[in-house]
Structure 1
Amino acid sequence: MKKYILFDHDGVLVDTEYWYYRAGERALAEIGVRLDLDQYLRDMAHGLGTWHQAKAAGVDEQTIARQRRMRDALYEEYLRTESIAIDGVVDALADLVKVARLAIVTTSRRSDFDLIHSEDAITRFMDFILVRDDYVHAKPHPEPYLTALARFGASPTEALVVEDSARGLRSAVAAGIDCAVVDNAFTATQDFSQATYRIGALRDLKNLILGSS
């Protein structure tokens, strides 16, 4: 049985992926750049992001820095005003914490993470949380998940990663950890052929964990 579950955050525990994209789309639209969704998803799978298309369109670094600040402010506003809860997540975590130790491994900034979880119950189930500030190389590099394994003192075979994106899946695979990909409409077109498991929702994880002994 897997003893440690390492959760991605955005798209797995909270429904924020679209709003991050939307904030970037609005920030780029202000300077006349269209953020193509299909290209954005392809870029994200390789650890690139909003500004890759801007650079390809010839936008200079000073302008990108300004629009990044705008994107961050817009995203924070969405986090305050939009519904980002995923039904069943808290109940699933309450079940899972009885059979495994849990942690979050996210590329979110600490400020965004703290804003999201200022009033919810998700973090109380976690042994620890790793945000973007806690490691050097972001997903799809294996460092985020290797850092989590080291924090637990766990081997890759003892752990399971839960992801919703190809970027996160590649990070888990590179770290040598089995990965369960949970369905998310926003990332549904990405390549998940390397996933160990595919699940419809977090509630499906408990039986998967108990069945892996």
Structure 2
Amino acid sequence: MRKYVLFDHDGVLVDTELWYYRAGERALADIGFTQDKGRYLRDMPQGLATWAQARAAGVDERTIDRQRAVRDGYYQEYLRTEAIEIEGVVDTLAELSTHVRMAIVTTAKGADFDIIHEKRQIRRFMEFVLVREDYTLAKPHPEPYLTALERFGAGAAEALVVEDSARGLRSAVAAGVDCAIVHNDFTRAQDFSAARYRIDSLIELLDIIL
């Protein structure tokens, strides 16, 4: 039986991937650039996403830096105003919390994470949260999940990672932790061949853990 579950955040516990994309799309539209969604999705596993197309089209780095800040503002606006709940997450976490210890390991910035969880119930089930500022090397490097294991004092074989992206999967595998990939429309075409489990919703974790 697993004793620890390490959750990715965006696309796993809250439905934010679309709004992050739209914030970037809007920031690029402000400078007259139309983002190709198909290419965005193909670029995601390499961590390129929003700005790769702009660079390829000759947009300079100063403009990109300025629009990155604009994107962040749009994203926070969406986080405050759009429905980002995933049905069944809170009930599943409540059930899991009686059997395992849990934490969130996310590449989300602390400011964004705090906005998301101002009025939500997810955080109360977690022993701790690691946001982007809490480690040096981001996914797909193993550091985020190794840091979480160390915080728990856990061995890799005792834990399960829950992810929705190939980058997160590679991070888990590199840390030696089995990974369950939960379905997400934004990442469904990515390579998940190294995943131990594939699930459609978090409720299926109960069958894996118990």
TM-score w.r.t. length of structure 1:
0.95
Residue 185 of structure 1 corresponds to 185
User: C-alpha offsets along residues 123-147 of structure 1, whole Å, 9 cap, x if unaligned?
Assistant: 0000100000001111111111111
Higher mean C-alpha deviation, range 88-97 or range 164-173: 164-173
User: C-alpha offsets along residues 92-115 of structure 1, whole Å, 9 cap, x if unaligned?
Assistant: 000111111000000101010000
Residue 77 of structure 1 corresponds to 77
Q: How does 1:149-168 map to 2 (within 5 A)?
A: 149-168=149-168
Gaps of 5+ in 2: none
Residue 44 of structure 1 corresponds to 44
Paired AA for residue 40 in structure 2: Y
Give the whole-Å Cα distance in 1 for the aligned partners of 2:142 and 2:37. Answer: 26
Q: How does 1:102-117 map to 2 (within 5 A)?
A: 102-117=102-117
DSSP 3-state at the match of 1:187: coil
Q: How does 1:29-178 map to 2 (within 5 A)?
A: 29-178=29-178
Residue 9 of structure 1 corresponds to 9
8 Å CA contact 1:40, 1:50 repeated in 2: yes
Give the whole-Å Cα distance in 2 for the aligned partners of 1:141 and 1:33. Answer: 31
DSSP 3-state at the match of 2:62: helix
DSSP 3-state at the match of 2:133: helix
CA drift at 1:41: 2.2
DSSP 3-state at the match of 1:185: coil
Give the whole-Å Cα distance in 1 for the aligned partners of 2:168 and 2:38. Answer: 18
8 Å CA contact 1:79, 1:116 repeated in 2: yes
Sequence identity, in percent?
Answer: 69
User: C-alpha offsets along residues 142-171 of structure 1, whole Å, 9 cap, x if unaligned?
Assistant: 111111111111111111000111111111
Give the whole-Å Cα distance in 2 for the aligned partners of 1:32 and 1:195. Answer: 40
Give the whole-Å Cα distance in 2 for the aligned partners of 1:133 and 1:41. Answer: 25
CA drift at 1:47: 2.6
Paired AA for residue 162 in structure 1: V
TM-score w.r.t. length of structure 2:
0.97
DSSP 3-state at the match of 1:35: coil
How many residues were matched structurally?
Answer: 210
Give the whole-Å Cα distance in 2 for the aligned partners of 1:198 and 1:107. Answer: 21
CA drift at 1:48: 2.7
Higher mean C-alpha deviation, range 45-54 or range 65-74: 45-54
User: C-alpha offsets along residues 38-60 of structure 1, whole Å, 9 cap, x if unaligned?
Assistant: 22222221233312222222211
Give the whole-Å Cα distance in 1 for the aligned partners of 2:134 and 2:48. Answer: 19
CA drift at 1:191: 1.3
8 Å CA contact 1:46, 1:140 repeated in 2: no
